[in-house]
Chains A and B, each alone.
Chain A
Amino acid sequence: MKLKRRDFIAGTLLAGVVARVEAVAGSTPWYNWSGHVNANPAHRLRPRSEAELAQMLTSATAPVRPVGSGHSFSPLVPTDGSLVTLDWLAGLRSVDEENMTATFGAGTRLMDIGPALQSYNQAPVNLPDIDRQTIAGAIATATHGTGQTLGGLSAYVTALKLATMDGEILSLSASDSPDIFNAARVSLGALGVVTEVTFQNRKAYRLKAKSEVITLEQALDHFDEEAAAHRHYELFPFLYSDYTIALTIDETTGDIDHPPLDPEEDAQFQDLMSLLMSTPAIARQPIIDAVVSDLPTTTVVDESYKILANIRNTRFNEMEYSVPAEAGAACLREIVRTVRDQKLDVVFPLEYRYVAADNTWLGMHSGEGVFAAISIHQLAGVDYQAYFDVIEPIFWKYGGRPHWGKVHSLGAAELKHLYPRFSDFQAIRQQLDREGKLLNAHLRRVFLD
């Protein structure tokens, strides 16, 4: 079976079963990407301009929730009131070639940023790894890529516009209302609706990505030196296995060499996942080790944005926490050990990477130093609760902060201790949304004690 690393990452959906939400008359249901989060919004707002959006917000039925691509696994979006879509607030709006910045409509998908900037010889400094998210959704949840010297997407925001519930359009930057700006760069759609974002970019560049299989212990023993030596370094540890995929990415001036995924390999991946799902957890290791150890080392070269972010065909639900980097290896080892000791039924690999700190108020990586972001996944359509409930306390033990867009159980009582600027954010939130019209049930739990 000649699978490649990319097959495990892009993959093919297993036939997950998602029960359809009973539609409310006149309402098209809404589901998130995994199908697990759903709603029946009474109104779908489709503003074609900032001015139209601002007017809509003044009279929209609460809860008012903006939606990007629906890639969050946490219930940030559900509303039975007004769903605000950003499809018409998209596209490249302006480029500053001298300062290497560019301004996009907030509804722009990440996959469209790179191509739009190519003709200006600019490229994003870094990108999260799923390319279908919108800019607004990605920065709202502090979505990030990999790299111990590289921050999440919000770290590269130099300005943004925010439509408020009072019908104003605020223009924000580090020099123009800096407090609201630093709050708004990661704000869960709880301050208003972001309509436009300006990014600091860099000169266009190419990346070479090498994926190889090594033992997890070897990878963790050398993780710090590898993360320091390479622009990006990331692990995808297999559960019930001694192995991990190690992904190393560095800049290159080499020729592009990036063949498309082979559909036959996709089918082989699906067969493997089906086999594993039907095999008792304690009996999986020989199968996984045999397949994984046979995976070839592969190298691809392409424009940076084509390496950093891609489509995901396999749908899943995810929990991710970020812990201080010095605690990362111990946290990961405990997760791997716990899954095996408790015979948890999961086949999806983990994810382990470093991210640089930033100066946002509510980003998971706000503060100083370097963070280790650790992700666990369960296939969409498969109940994840038992697995996530066992692992989440491990993250807490190591001082972790949950990814805002992924499954977590924390509320205001816990979150206020994780973020020094939490109360400052609350003050701005209450100032901009006095009636709490932007709060759905999840956000009430996140922000209200």
Chain B
Amino acid sequence: MPEPMTTDQAFLWSGSCAQCHVSGNAGAPVSGDTAAWQPRMTKGRETLLEHTIAGFKNMPPLGYCMACEEADFVTMIESMAGTRLTD
């Protein structure tokens, strides 16, 4: 099981990723929808980090989280997907 977000990470997530990953805006996989996340997670940690940081399709670079570092994004992705990222 993935590590839960820290209080700080949850705060940052609510102000950034949650804007799309709760409502599903612009095709974003909804947080907790493991079926929607599964094909994304198969791309692996490096690819998903690259997409998150550099932007991918409708997702802007860093998902609007200017304060987030790579470790934060890993935890957020795993929390939304409900599973660990693989290398």
Contact = CB atoms under 8 A, between A and B. Distances in A.
Contacts of A33: 60-61
Interface string B23-66: 00111000000000000000000000010011101101110111
A109 B64 CA distance: 11
A315 B55 contact: yes
Interface stretch (A83-91, A192-200, A325-333, A415-423): A83-91
A12 B62 contact: no
Contacts of A32: 61
Contacts of B54: 18-21, 29, 31, 35
A132 B26 contact: no
A70 interface: yes
A67 interface: yes
Among A21, A70, A90, chain B packs the most CB atoms within 10 A around the CB of A70
Given A67-B66, A69-B64, A31 B55 contact: yes
Interface in A239-282: 263, 266
Contacts of B53: 20, 28-29, 31
Interface residues of B, number: 23
B1 interface: no
Nearest to A137: B66
Contacts of B60: 33, 35, 70, 315
B64 to A, nearest CB: 6
Contacts of A46: 67
A132 B69 CA distance: 20
A313 interface: yes
A46 B54 CA distance: 21
Contact of B27 (A67, A263, A311): A263
Contacts of A18: 54-55, 61
Contacts of A88: 11
Given A12-B26, A20-B50, A313 B66 contact: no
B66 A83 contact: yes
A30 B26 contact: no
B58 A12 contact: yes
A67 B57 CA distance: 23
A15 interface: yes
B61 A44 contact: no
Interface residues of A, number: 32
A13 interface: yes
Contacts, number: 72
A31 B26 contact: no
Given A31-B55, A70-B62, A87 B25 contact: no
A313 B55 contact: no
Q: Is the interface of A mostly helix, strand, loop or mixed?
A: loop
B3 interface: no
A13 B67 contact: no
A29 B61 CA distance: 10
B26 A313 contact: yes
Among B50, B57, B60, B68, chain A packs the most CB atoms within 10 A around the CB of B60
Contact of B12 (A87, A263, A313): A87
B66 A85 contact: yes
B15 interface: yes
B58 A87 contact: no
A285 B62 CA distance: 37
B15 A31 contact: no
Contacts of B68: 28
Interface string A10-26: 00110100111100000
Nearest to B23: A260
A46 B58 CA distance: 26
Contact of A87 (B15, B19, B55, B57): B15
Interface in A363-422: none
Nearest to A10: B26
Nearest to B68: A28
Interface string A61-97: 0000001111000000000000101011010000000
Nearest to A69: B64
A35 B61 contact: yes
B64 A132 contact: yes
B66 A30 contact: yes
B50 A30 contact: no
A311 B66 contact: no
Among B12, B15, B61, B64, chain A packs the most CB atoms within 10 A around the CB of B61
Closest 4 CB pairs of A and B: A31-B61, A85-B67, A20-B54, A28-B69
28 contacts: A13-B58, A15-B57, A18-B54, A18-B55, A19-B54, A20-B54, A28-B53, A28-B68, A30-B66, A31-B53, A33-B61, A44-B66, A44-B67, A44-B69, A46-B67, A69-B64, A69-B66, A70-B62, A70-B64, A85-B67, A87-B11, A87-B66, A132-B19, A263-B27, A266-B26, A311-B19, A311-B25, A315-B60
Interface of B: 11-12, 15, 19, 25-27, 50, 53-55, 57-58, 60-62, 64-70
